[in-house]
Amino acid sequence: MSSMQPLNPRPGGSQHPPGASEKRSELVRCRGGLIAVPRKLKPLTPESGRGTLKLTKLLLNVNIQGSLGPVQVVTSPENTVGCLIKEAIERYVKDMRRPLLKETDPRCFKLHYSEFSLESLRTEEKLKNLGSRNFYLCQKPTTVADSSCTDEAKYIAANSVFPFTKFMDFLL
């Protein structure tokens, strides 16, 4: 015996006019009470004028390095990984999450499939092609050889409006 039994108050079996049977639903008695079940579901076809159904939004979970929980981002599947990084950082900062990020520039971060993934995702890649909805965001490693504090201080002093700061190099 099925747990769902149709309710038909009329002896003829139908409670709707003949033309309305495709648009209406049928009441069915099931274990929890009465529910409405559509009689016929028509798939959308290009001929019906609506076209095919498209995915309009994605809910993505992004774990940020050092954070306790993921940041949830709702975005379009046509966006790129770079857009996701930017939106996740903006959401993290807006929610005032801890620990605070030292850098909020999206170019300083890499997106991975997981914390244990060595390969980062390309920033030009579309989100709909990734196949995952959970990601891990970490900062790119900084290289000390590229810039040093003394070089930056000399550059600032040379381009400063106060020329006497050039002679204060020994304090740096």
| Segment 42-91, tens digit of pLDDT | 444 555 555 667 778 999 999 999 999 999 999 999 999 999 999 999 99
Give pLDDT, residue 71: 97
Beta-bridge mates of residue 75:
58
Over the chain, what is the mean pLDDT? 75
Query: Which burial class, exposed, middle or buried, applies to 111 when counting CB atoms under 10 A from its CB (0-12, 13-18, 19+)?
Result: buried
Give pLDDT, residue 142: 77
What domains, with CATH codes, occur in the chain?
Answer: 5-40 (no CATH), 58-139 (3.10.20.90), 144-172 (no CATH)
Q: Tokens 């009470």 label which residue? A: 33
